[in-house]
Structure 1
Amino acid sequence: MKKVTKITENTSNFTERPKLRVAAYCRVSTDSDDQLVSLDTQIKHYESYIKSNPDWDFAGLYYDEGITGTKKEKRPELLRMIADCENKKIDFIVTKSISRFARNTTDCLELVRKLLDLGIFIYFEKENINTGSMESELMLSILSGLAESESVSIAENSKWSVKRRFQNGTFKISYPPYGYDTADGKLVVNETQAAVVRFIFSEILSGKGTGNIANELNRRDVPSKKGGHWTATTIRGMIGNEKYTGDAVFQKTYTDTHFNRHYNYGEKDQFLIKNHHDAIISHEDFDAAQAIIEQHGKEKGVEKYQDKYQNRYPFSGKIICSQCGAKFKRRIHSTGRHNIAWCCTNHIADAKKCSMKYIPESHFEYAFVTMMNKLIFGHQTVLRPLLMGLRGINSEDSVAKLHALDKKLEENAEQRKVLVTLQTRGYLEPAVYNKGNNELLQEAERIQRQKESIARFINSDNINLHEVSELLQYATKATMLKGFDGELFTRFVERILVYSRTEIGFELKCGITLKERLVR
Structure 2
Amino acid sequence: MRAAIYVRVSTEEQAREGYSIAAQIQRLEDFARSQDWGIFDHYIDDGYSAKNLNRPDMNRMIKDIKEHRFDVVLVYRLDRLVRSVSDLHELLELFDGNNVKFKSATEMFDTTSAMGRFFITLVAAMAQWERENLAERVHMGMRRKVEESQRPGSIAPFGYDLVNGELVINEKEAIWVKKVFNSFRTQGKRAIAAMLNEAGIKTKKGNPWHDSVVTFLVNNPIYCGLIRWNHRKSSGKKTNETIIVEGNHPPIISRELFDQVQMIQRERAGRGYKGKSEYPFSGVLRCARCGQALSGGKKKKKNGYSRFYRCIGKVSYKMCDLPMFPEDILEEAFLNQLPAPKQPVILQETSEDISLLEKEFVKINKKIERIKELYLEGEIERIDYNQKINIERDKAREIQFQLDNIEKPVDVSEVMEMLTEIKSVWLHMDYSEKKAAVHSIVKEMKIDVLYTAKTRKEKSIIKITEFKAK
TM-score w.r.t. length of structure 1: 0.50
Q: What is the rounded CA distance, in whole Å, between the counterparts of 1:40 and 1:342 in structure 2?
A: 61
1:178 to 148, 153, 158: 158
Quote the residue 1:45 is aligned against: 23
Q: Bigger shift: 329-338 or 36-45?
A: 329-338
Counterpart for residue 87 of structure 2: 107
Give, as a single letter, the amino acid of the residue that structure 2 aligns with 1:252: H
Q: Deviations over 1:10-56 (max 9, x none)?
A: xxxxxxx9x7663412337xx4xxx5431674323123235555632
SS across alignment from 2:125: helix
**SS class of match (1:187):** strand
Q: Distance between the aligned counterparts of 2:142 and 2:268, measured in 1?
A: 36
C-alpha distance in 2 between matches for 1:118 and 1:56: 18
In the other structure, the counterpart of 1:231 is: 210
The answer to whether 1:147 aligns with 2:127 is: yes
Contact 2:223 2:253 survives alignment (8 Å): yes
1:210 aligned to 2:186?
no
Give the aligned partner of residue 194 of structure 1. 174
Matched-pair contact (CA < 8 Å) for 1:98–1:143: no
Cα shift at 1:262:
4.8
1:165–1:171 CA contact under 8 A, matched in 2: yes
Alpha-carbon offset, residue 187 of structure 1: 1.5
**1:237: how far off?**
0.4
Aligned Cα RMSD in Å? 5.5
Tell me how many residue pairs correspond in the alignment: 344
Matches within 5 A, 1:190-339: 190-205=170-185, 207-254=186-233, 261-264=235-238, 267-299=239-271, 301=273, 330-332=295-297, 339=307
Tell whether the 8 Å contact from 1:173 to 1:187 is kept in structure 2 after alignment: no
Distance of 1:208 and 1:49 partners within structure 2: 65
Distance change >3 Å, CA 95–CA 295, structure 1 → 2: farther
Name the counterpart of 1:26.
9
Distance 1:121 1:329 in 2: 58
| Structure 2, gaps ≥5 residues long | 336-427, 447-463
Paired with 1:285 and 1:98, the residues of 2 have a C-alpha distance of 55
CA distance in 2, matches of 1:56, 1:280: 64
Match for 1:285: what amino acid?
L
CA distance in 1, matches of 2:113, 2:281: 52
Matched, 1:160 2:128: no
Higher relative CO (Cα under 8 Å, sequence separation at least 6) belongs to 2
- Asked if 2 retains the 8 angstrom alpha-carbon contact of 1:181 and 1:190, the reply is yes
CA displacement, residues 410-441 of structure 1 (integer Å, 9 cap, x when unaligned) = xxxxxxxxxxxxxxxxxxxxxxxxxxxxxxxx
Whether the 8 Å CA contact 1:103–1:148 is kept in 2: the answer is: yes
CA–CA distance in structure 1, aligned partners of residues 285 and 5 of structure 2:
43
CA distance in 1, matches of 2:114, 2:171: 66
2: CA distance between counterparts of 1:483 and 1:203?
Answer: 39
Measured against aligned partners, the alpha-carbon deviations of 1:475-502 in whole angstroms (never above 9, x if no partner) come to xxxxxx975669x97xxx9997347869
Partner of 1:253, secondary structure, is: coil
Partners in 2 of 1:342 and 1:496 — Cα distance?
A: 19
Alignment CA distance shift 1:335-1:313 (3 Å): closer
Aligned residue identity for 2:254: S
Unaligned 5+ segments in structure 1 are 1-16, 73-77, 255-259, 303-308, 368-480, 507-520
Asked if 2 retains the 8 angstrom alpha-carbon contact of 1:245 and 1:280, the reply is: yes
The CA deviation at 1:113 is 5.1
User: Does residue 82 of the first structure (1) align with residue 65 of the second (2)?
Assistant: no
How far off its partner does 1:98 sit?
3.7
Q: Give the CA deviation at 1:238.
A: 0.3
2:55 aligned counterpart, secondary structure: helix
Q: Secondary structure at the match of 1:38?
A: coil
- Larger radius of gyration between Structure 1 and Structure 2: 1
